[in-house]
Amino acid sequence: MPVGDLVAVWEVALSDGVYRIEFAHGTATGKRVVYVNGQEVLRKDWMFKLVGKETFPLGGSDTKATVNIEAVGGFAYEYSLDIDGKSLQTFVDTRAKTTKTWLLKVDGRDHRVVLEKDTMDVWCDGEKVDTKTHFTMGGHECCIKAASSGRRKSGIVHWFLLDGAQVAASAL
């Protein structure tokens, strides 16, 4: 856990959970330490340059996080956090448009469900879950399954299942 030189704390909500980032900066030694949820993920001791950037992976999908250290006069410093190359505020604003989050209590336990609107991926308590749309047609079980293709241009891939068997898509 951070001690002494703690200078900044941020909370970042990703699909797989909420992460607490703590940054310690020794302005006499240049030491830089990043903690995520209380675990040390980056340490640099005896840095001669007191300003700069420290980048580290965040979350299960290794989202790129960067702590920026800037001098604001004399021995005063300003610290900011970028997520995926965007300022924390821009990242939060973008996520508010592209995700929907529900916090609920089920059977006495707290749960967090996140829908990524652009991919239709659903995360439950930090785990990506398989999602399907079920319906019946003439007494037969139908299911449309959606999943990310993993490629930005392809987007979401859909499958249609009739009584558990995949049906090929039509050209029309």
Residue-wise pLDDT for 95-111, tens only, equals 988 898 989 888 899 98
User: What type of residue sits at position 30?
Assistant: G
47 pLDDT above the threshold of 80: no
Q: What tokens were used for 85?
A: 């190359």
Architecture of the structural domain at 98-167: Beta Barrel (2.40)
In the chain, ranges of CATH 2.40.128.180 domains: 6-95
Distance CA 50, CA 21 (A): 20
Residue 168 — very low, low, confident or very high, per pLDDT cuts 50/70/90? confident
What is the mean pLDDT of the segment spanning 63-74? 92
Q: Cα-Cα-Cα-Cα dihedral of 85, 91, 76, 39, to 10°?
A: -90
% of the chain beyond a pLDDT of 70: 94
**Record: fold of 6-95:** Lipocalin (2.40.128)
pTM: 0.75
Residue with the larger pLDDT of the pair 62 and 157 = 62
Judge whether residue 48 has pLDDT over 80.
no
